[in-house]
Every structure is written in structure tokens, then in C-alpha cells.
Amino acid sequence: MALESDQIQINNAQTRIHLQPIAAPSILGFYGLAGATFMVAAHMAHWYGTGISALYLFPFAAMFGGLAQFLAGMWAFKARDGVATAVHGMWGAFWMAYGILTVVFAFGRLAPPVGAWPELGFWFIVLAAITWVCVAAATAENKGFVTTLTFLAAGATTAAIGELMGVEWLMMLTGWLFIIASIAAWYTGSALMLKEAFGHTVWGLGESRRARDMHPIAVGVGEPGVIHGQA
């Protein structure tokens, strides 16, 4: 009798699923990436500024491109978006590190090197290597991500070579590549925001077939009802 009672309780048990929907983290992430990258890249491309311009740029770059984008990467982790987690987490950390380095220069603890700067070149080697892999992964999502990350990875590549060899024209080329990446990031973030605001696609992102076919509620391993992605 006891076994039959336990079996009845098991059969009558109900499963509760708690969803925690969040706004697409890449809206903030791509806006932070676009804002910081555009301002610094325009200076690199010699659109404006002087040798001390970085002191005026780093607070915004470190906060919006750094802290805000890094937080977006952590929220993308919660949204089960591996590409956005890697991109926003890595580039957010880079912009925060850029801000710290600029503060160190401002207080005279270190002197900015003249010519080749191999230490910073290795920063960009790491950024380029990981961003190129993110480009490959983003092809499974949409063309907006791919375009942004391709120019971002190309800029990191030329920056690495330019800093290692001390070639000024490569750094100017880096500025232009980053400017294009920032425009693509602004478009991608805007497309995500408009889609969320209106409930349908307003600006196309060129979603892959896999992304179009994916049901908005994906069943995870042991996590039925988990929302996957950000679209």
C-alpha cells in the first residue's frame, strides 16, 4: 500500500518552470563597443586631437566601452549567448584596461613609449586571435555580428603588427577599420533594440537559417523552458 501511495504522489507531481526574460544584452554591449571604439579610432585616424586627447577620452571609453560592455557580456552569459559573452566580456575588459593604462600615464608612473610598443602589440594579438574565432562562430547567428566582428578583428590584427613594428600608417589603417567596426556595431545594436521595441524586425540583421529556424524557447539539458539567445 505504501508503494502505491508513493506512486500516486509521483504521478500527481507537477513541474514548475520559472523563466527570467531579460532584454537583449548585446543592445548595450554593441552600443558600448561602438561608442568607445568610434571616439578612440577617430583619434587614431587623425580626424582630431592632440597627444593628450587620450586623457579626455578614457573616462567615457572605460565606463561605456569598458564597464557597461563587460556587464553586457555577463548578462549575455545568462542569455546563453556564447558569442556575445566572449565579445563583450573581452572587449569590455580591454577598454577598462585601456582606461587604467591611461591613468597610469597621466600620473607619470609610466612614460608612453615612442615608436614600437611590443607590449601593447601583444594585447592586440590576443584580441585578434579570439575575435577571429568569434567571427567564425557569429556566422551561425547573423550578418550584423559577422560584419562588426570582422572589421574589429582586422583592426586588432593591423594594430598588433603596427605596435610590434612601430609602423604609423598601420595604426592609421587600424583607426579606419575600427571606425567601420563601430558603425556596424551601432547598426547591430540599433537593429536589436528596434526589434525588441516593436516586436518584429525593423532593420534586418541577415539572420542565418539556423537562427531563423531556432524556436525562441529552447530546451536545455535539464533546463526545460530556458530562453536561448537575445533576438
Tell me the mean pLDDT in the region 119-132.
97
Residue with cell 565606463: 63
7 lies in a domain? Answer: no
For residue range 95-123, list pLDDT tens digits in order.
999 999 999 998 888 888 888 999 999 99
Neighbours of 68 (CB within 10 A): 20
226 lies in a domain? Answer: no
For residue range 73-82, list pLDDT tens digits in order.
999 998 889 9
Give the angle subtended at the CA of 85 by the CAs of 80 and 91, to the nearest 5°: 170
Tell me the mean pLDDT in the region 162-179.
97
Mean pLDDT lowest among 17-26, 45-54, 190-199: 17-26
164 lies in a domain? Answer: yes
63 lies in a domain? Answer: yes
Across the strands, what pairs with 217? 227
17 lies in a domain? Answer: no
220 lies in a domain? Answer: no
**pLDDT score, position 208:** 80
Mean pLDDT lowest among 7-16, 20-29, 104-113, 179-188: 7-16
The answer, yes or no, to whether residue 231 has pLDDT greater than 80, is no
**pLDDT score, position 11:** 54
Query: Domain limits at 202?
Result: 24-213
Domain count, the chain: 1
Nearest residue to 142 (alpha-carbon basis) of 81, 90, 198: 81
**pLDDT score, position 207:** 87
Neighbours of 223 (CB within 10 A): 12
12 lies in a domain? Answer: no
pTM of the shown model: 0.85
Tell me the mean pLDDT in the region 180-202.
95
**pLDDT score, position 114:** 86
144 lies in a domain? Answer: yes
Q: Give the Cα separation of 10 and 79 in Å (integer).
A: 32
**Could you give the residue ranges of the DSSP H alpha helices within 79-167?**
82-106, 118-138, 143-165
**pLDDT score, position 210:** 72
First to last CA, the chain: 52
